[in-house]
A and B are shown apart, each in its own frame.
Chain A
């Protein structure tokens, strides 16, 4: 495909279409509105449906309803709307309904600075809804990455029957870059698994320990002859509410297992120059751009600095970080918050090694700030 100038939000919308998304429900909010506007125009062109709902709670609810009807479905919002969506994100996790939720992060808390970037929703993406549940969250750092990770988000949602959070930020969402999109025909797209059993044998929440659908039972859309029940209550394999511990525990085990056993597929990251490094910079999202530049500057000054760019934020890439940082002296973690993902990194590599570089005022972290932290630490060796 030819090169074109594209905004991050627009790339997210186009990627959703390329991934097979045919339903979007949303509510206007800066800095995610462009995703809704693009899809209001583009979805009906491909026979899909767009609806602007009365609020973000209704938006995520409609997305889940559409997914139950068999459509790949997405919503997009920012912090205040993401907060409102949390209960139904939990419902999607509980009922294992695939869907994609885009959060273009802006500075919070509350209304905050709507047009300023932030990475303040990292922990909310993980723990925003009540109760224990696994989640997948991806965070892009460029317009092309927005495209690629949005396609991935749909694939993960379908493959693991789970809500997937696209954790963008205002910087990436509103930035325009020259990008070359992949040929859509070349994209590998996940289809919803079909069941091979007749309706009377179908168990939409089967906890089978073996067989082709281990950990992720097929989800048959409503209206295709498999009349079953979906509920946010704890349920048995057929979807009926249950209080039996011998039915609840296998379900809990399975929904965590389906993510934990697939980390090699889910964890997306890039490691750069870590072989000879004694300091490692770990970054994600828009901040990864400044981090990459800072690492380059440090290398030019003869410093042995490596870079780990995390694209999958949740589940946290524990073993990746551990093995990358094991023999290093220092780890520098720049984030546009008061220190969120760094808590996970400290848990894995130990607090002594880790230095946070934080901004939570709506301004970006400059490469020079990260470089200063690197040099400060190296001076301390």
Chain B
């Protein structure tokens, strides 16, 4: 099996009108962050799905995915112990009636590893940097708020379901600290693909793939200026969150910052 993925290559399929996509191939290299953008229903999730299934002309889009210039083994997409791809979608919930602590133990066991209290502590600590409301290991999974659940999923994905490729489908609406979440997920040497409508997420990448009517229509390398714009947009969001917190705490809003003070 391959331990690291140096390169993903996507070969064209067809769009919703069965027309061939207009690119020769798309290479994504280790360490790159790529945004998938396009209108709602354009086919962003399908693109991520093709990657998750390591499509071989066997999905709706007829795309093909190669890893390290080779056709991947079927087992890599199904067996979690060999799985190369971790994914996080918007609609996911926890359904297991267990404490956070016991749940993480069970997950570690399901991955064929020995239970490790240090790792569990790390998962919870990191999750708590993503959510505003701290998670206690003794809390029941079902009692977690939406933000806490999402934060725990992200931290679990980064620390237990460790995979060289990470797919993220629209996490901007999850009610979490987005920047902390992205920082947790994007560790060195990973390939990250993010389907998003969020401008600061889309511009804080190496490139973005534009999808419309089920097909890739363009691939744009992010410019330095765009990265600067992303930085500014991010500041605006953080400031908005500060104001949100003040409102939640029952304070009156008397002031708004007009200029980015962040360096």
- Whether A and B are associated in the same complex: the answer reads no
